[in-house]
Chain A
Amino acid sequence: MQLSFRLNGSATQWEDVHPGENLLEALRRHGCWEVKGNNCTHGECGACTILLDGIPVPSCTVFAARVEGRNVDTIRLLGDPDHLHPLQQAFLRHGAVQCGYCIPGMLLSAHALLVRNPHPNREEIKQSLSGHLCRCTGYLQQIEAIEEIAGLPEGAE
């Protein structure tokens, strides 16, 4: 089936979406390698998180057909290796990235939080990361990185 939607801000049309395919599979099949985590498939690890109309969701739990006419953003929304977003820089500065597999998803959740609530407290930050399993880090360095960005004056992010 055909699918039209906005992917990272660009009008996108896919001609060959399978009706039983989830969004994670469809994205990766179309070269969006930045969406990781095609081994859990239950929405429990959070690695495949994308923003669906600005809201972080695990793309493995969303049928691709559901995004018709909607906005899908992947980590490409934030930056590329030569132009990192301040949140991405903060993650690196705080040592919050080890293997990196869970990081694009965490960054998207953190970004979505900051868009809605530019100055979240620690509990709100912890809550926003709680759908993302990470085995390398222990979460504290991500929290500290987000707190640093959240402490900046509005508009600096």
Chain B
Amino acid sequence: MASRTVVGQSIDKLDGPALVTGQAVYTDDFTLPGMLFDRILWSPRAHARIRAIDTAAAECLPGVRLILHYGNVPRVAYTTAGQGFPEPSPYDSFIFDQKVRFVGDRVAAVFADNLIAAQEAVGLIQVEYEDLPAIFEPEEATQPNAPIIHDEEEIRGAFDPRHNLVSQLDLKIGDVEQSLAQATYRAEGTWITPYAQHVPMETHIVISYLDEWGRLVLRSSTQVPFHARRIIARLLDLPIQKIRVIKPRVGGGFGGKQEILLEDLCALATLRTRRPARIELSRKEEFVSARQMHPMKVQVRLGADSGGQLQAMEMRVLANTGAYGTHGSTVFFNTGSKTLPLYNKAPNVRFVGDVVYTNLPVAGAYRGYGATEGYFALECAIDQLAAKMGMDPLLLRRKNHIREGETSPIFIKLGEGREGVEQTVQSCGLDRCIELGMKAFQWDERRKKPRRIGPDRARGVGMSILMQGSSIPQVDMAAASLRMAEDGSFHLFLGATDIGTGSDTILAQIAAETIGVSTDRFTVYSSDTDFSPFDKGAYASSTTYLTGQAVYKAAFAVRNQILGIAGLWFKVEPGTLEIRQGVVFNQQGARLTLEEIGYRSYYLADQQQIEASASALSQASPPPFSAHFAEIEIDLETGIVRPLDYVVAVDCGVAINPELAKGQVLGSLMNGIGFALSEELLLSSRGVALNPNFLDYKIPTSLDLPRIEIIPVETNEPTGPYGAKSVGEICINGPLPTLANAIFDATGIQMKEAPFTAERVWRALKRNE
């Protein structure tokens, strides 16, 4: 491996100086004369038909310019999921429908000269509802005679909407029942996860206006600008040519902005009034009417032989997608496809489940994408099995986990709502993650210590191992364009969507390394559908891995163009030249700066634009791997659990920017700790959110931070740019099983319902008395 000067360096984020000084970089840091402001009327009913809607009083209010509702917008079935075309999510949504399907569904939107008028007008809209029987429990959705939530005739792509089924699957490899019957050791249980929200600090926001050609411009806080453009074009029957989507800096996404939630309304307002328009969700609206993590019940059954070899694995999933099926089947498939291959030696595997509609808030994509729920169940079941065998759970995992050069039948059987792609794991540092993690954590030493540390206090240790993927193989494409200016600086145009992850910086590092320059020559522009080449967007842990490949190809082509011009200058074969630190050297050591090459190619001789575009389609989804270790302290009287120490060893291939990779690990870890300790959107028996605010939906703060150690475990992924794999999602999956296993170690009790609130733990302890 040639020595690298840019890749592997923790250079500062290129957009960092703007961010730390509070420059006007987000969607809302921008205003236009005549802009209309929007407030939305949300359904107070869980399931109802709108008999009549009367907007007369609201329209009379001074400053009110437009009120949209089912009666005056196009009726086109679509999915809000920002996925590749054709989307694997069902077309079960409308801009507005005559039916509302959850408390928080859209009923109408008011656009006015100011927010106050818009808000007041919302209160003046009279709606007559005809209540319909509603479904609040996922188990009830598939019962005979259950109300049909999606009875619209336009629905497409749902498995069986007459029975409220978005997706259903029964995948069998071998014979699980027989194998379980013969197994020496068995473990089983059902693990439950609730609604949880992404909580980006910047809520969903869109500003729309018409440009000087009368084209529609959408400035949106989105993870998927190109999917947004395509979906809006279809919804509003506009040519794609007439739409431009600009993604400024985004204040966090975590999957929640892989959705087209507001763009349609803003666009309609601008098209109808010819005025700029703006919609921003309040925090409460974000909690209720944006998207959630899928609540799931995941039953796992495991069987092992006397030596601890896993023989059978079964995972049964009941996933609640809420009122709309966005990301329903794909999240569900990932619950199996991102977890079961971890234990690839089991010959008998079954993955079975239902994804159902309910009259509850809408689940969608959330960092981890179903694997979070799957790992909670699988990794807790592994600990149960180890306990039954009297074996160290770490050893049980070592006996069974996947290794380099191996494959799993799951890879080919389970894809994104369809069949997957065969692949062999070409880089796997999981064994080293376990080894280094256990040493740093002092796993053996800590396990020898007494569990009881006081009359009402105990401690415990737990671990888990994880894998995820990097991109969706043979589905998603990414492209990059790279151009050199005459001063030897570069513009990198990306459709990839930096939502705070640092991907602009990482991709510039890949380009800089490839050419042989430093990143301070780079201006990265992402994303603008008018100027950026296509990219699927920020999801599926794909940007570094997949867009990185496109950037590498484009940069390699630009490098060759530079060398070609230098070759003409030196009158030698370009292959004999090299670029080091922005200077081309020939074999005699003569130098030519990129600036000299730039001026020559722009103005002087052999004139041409030094520029290249390239695209990449991923052929595989190489998994990153991780091992998590934690020690908790538990107050046996109150049930309060506190994580004390947390060690993460993570293999993301080669970390292009180690400090940014560490940030991904830490951020996903704290989110996962939130899932484990407190995060849960509570709903009344009538489907009303009880805690849609920061007072009662508690996300971790700096004071909740345990002692954390992150151990990078480098591997070289041959298919990735400079050996890189992904790191954005994997670690969110760790805290649920790791902390549950630590509670199990401390008390002998398996917490099977998240979050492990003090009251829940107290009840479990009491039951056990």
Binding site for B on A (CB under 8 A): 33-42, 44-45, 47, 74-76, 78-82, 84, 88-89, 91-104, 107, 125-127, 129-143
Please state if B13 and A99 are interface contacts (CB–CB under 8 Å): no
Chain B hits for A135, CB < 8 A = 198-201, 252, 254, 667, 671, 699
User: Is there contact, CB below 8 Å, between A100 and B703?
Assistant: no
Q: CA separation between A33 and B26, bound complex, in Å? A: 9
Docked complex Cα distance between A47 and B201 (Å): 8
Give the number of residue pairs across the A-B interface with Cβ within 8 Å. 186
Closest residue of B by beta carbon distance from A141: B663
Cβ contacts A to B, 15 pairs, < 8 Å: A34-B23, A45-B694, A78-B21, A80-B21, A81-B18, A95-B659, A95-B663, A102-B201, A103-B22, A126-B702, A135-B201, A136-B252, A137-B666, A138-B670, A138-B708
The segment from B275-283, B294-302, B446-454, B517-525 that touches chain A is B275-283
| Residue in A82, A96, A101 whose CB lies within 8 Å of B201 | A101
Q: Which residues of A contact B702 (CB under 8 A)?
A: 125-127, 129-130, 132, 139, 142-143
CB distance from A46 to the nearest CB of B (A): 9
Residue pair A93, B203 in contact (C-beta under 8 Å): no
Distance, CA A104 to CA B20, complexed state (A) = 6
Given A45-B283, A138-B666, A138-B705, 5 additional A-B pairs, CB 8 A: A34-B22, A36-B201, A37-B201, A101-B201, A141-B662
Sorted from nearest, which 10 A-B pairs have the closest CB atoms? A99-B500, A34-B22, A100-B19, A138-B666, A95-B659, A101-B251, A33-B24, A44-B694, A138-B670, A81-B17
Chain A residue at minimal CB-CB distance from B657: A95
B7-21 interface bits toward A, Cβ cutoff 8 Å, 1 = contact, 0 = none: 000101101111111
Nearest CB in chain A: distance from B100 CB, A: 24
B701 touches A139 (CB 8 A): yes
Task: Please state if B663 and A127 are interface contacts (CB–CB under 8 Å).
Answer: no
Answer whether A127 and B703 are a contact pair too, CB < 8 Å, given A36-B22, A100-B249, A135-B199.
yes
Shortest B675–chain A CB gap in Å is 12
Q: Report the minimum CB–CB distance from A30 to chain B (whole Å).
A: 12
- B486-510: CB near A (< 8 Å → 1, else 0) gives 0000000000000111100000000
Nearest Cβ on chain B to A41's Cβ, whole angstroms: 8
On whether the beta carbons of A45 and B670 are closer than 8 Å, the reply is: no
Q: Which of the listed residues A100, A103, A126, A137 has the most CB atoms from chain B within 10 Å of its own CB?
A: A100
The secondary structure that dominates the A interface is loop
Q: Contact: A45 with B28, CB < 8 Å?
A: no
Chain A residues in 8 Å Cβ range of B667: 98, 135-138
Contact, CB under 8 Å: A140 / B249: no
Alpha-carbon distance between A11 and B670 when the two chains are bound, in angstroms: 42
Q: Mark B665-684, 1 if CB is under 8 A from A, else 0.
A: 01101110000000000000
How distant is B583 from chain A, measured CB to nearest CB, in Å?
26
Residues of A within 8 A of B17 (CB): 81-82, 84, 88, 92
The answer to whether A84 and B21 touch (CB under 8 A), given A101-B251, A135-B198, is: yes
Contact B201 A99 (CB under 8 A): yes
CA distance A130 to B704 in the complex (A): 9
Report the bound CA distance from A137 to B250 in whole Å.
Answer: 15
**Contact B22–A92 (Cβ < 8 Å):** no
- What A residues does B282 contact at CB under 8 A? 39, 41
B2 at the interface (CB under 8 A from A): no
Residue of chain A at shortest CB distance from B663: A95
In the complex, chain A residues whose CB is within 8 Å of the CB of B92: none
Best-surrounded residue of A36, A92, A101, A135 (most CB of chain B within 10 A): A135
Asked if B286 is at the interface of the complex by the 8 Å CB criterion, the answer is: yes
Partner of A39, one of B286, B662, B669: B286
Is B757 interfacial (CB 8 A cutoff)? no
- State A27–B718 Cα separation when bound (angstroms): 51
> Bound complex: CA of A144 vs CA of B23, how far in Å?
24
Give the CA-CA distance A129 to B254 in the complex, in Å: 22
Chain A nearest Cβ from B238, distance in angstroms: 29
Partner of B16 from the list A92, A138, A142 (CB cut-off 8 Å) is: A92
Could you tell me if B12 and A93 are in contact, using CB atoms closer than 8 angstroms?
yes
A80, B22: Cα distance in complex, Å: 9
Is the Cβ of A79 less than 8 Å from the Cβ of B21? yes
Closest A residue, CB atoms, query B660: A95
B residues near A139, Cβ cutoff 8 Å: 666, 670, 701-702, 705
Please give, as numbers and ranges, the residues of chain A lying within 8 Å of B23 by CB-CB distance: 33-34, 81
Name the contact of A98 in the complex, choosing from B18, B22, B663, B693 (C-beta under 8 A): B663
B769 at the interface (CB under 8 A from A): no
Once the chains are docked, how many angstroms separate the CA of A42 from the CA of B670?
A: 23
Question: Quick one: closest A residue to B29, CB to CB?
Answer: A33
B202 interface residue (CB < 8 Å to A): yes
Asked if residues A100 and B666 are in contact (CB atoms below 8 Å), the reply is no
A residues within 8 A CB of B708? 138, 140
Contact A99 B22 (CB under 8 A): no
Which among B10, B19, B198, B663 is the interface contact of A137 at CB below 8 angstroms? B663
Please, which residues of chain B bring their CB within 8 A of the CB of A99?
19, 200-202, 249-252, 499-500
Please, which residues of chain B bring their CB within 8 A of the CB of A140? 666, 705, 708
A96 to B502 CA separation, bound complex (whole angstroms): 11
- Distance in angstroms from A34 CB to nearest chain B CB is 3
Determine whether the beta carbon of B20 is less than 8 Å from that of A97: yes
User: Which single member of B249, B666, B703 contacts A126 (CB below 8 Å)?
Assistant: B703
How far apart sit A95 and B662, CA to CA, in the bound complex (Å)? 8
Which residues from 687 to 746 on chain B have a C-beta closer than 8 Å to any C-beta of chain A? 693-695, 699, 701-703, 705, 708
Q: State in angstroms the CA–CA spacing of A137 and B20 once bound together.
A: 14
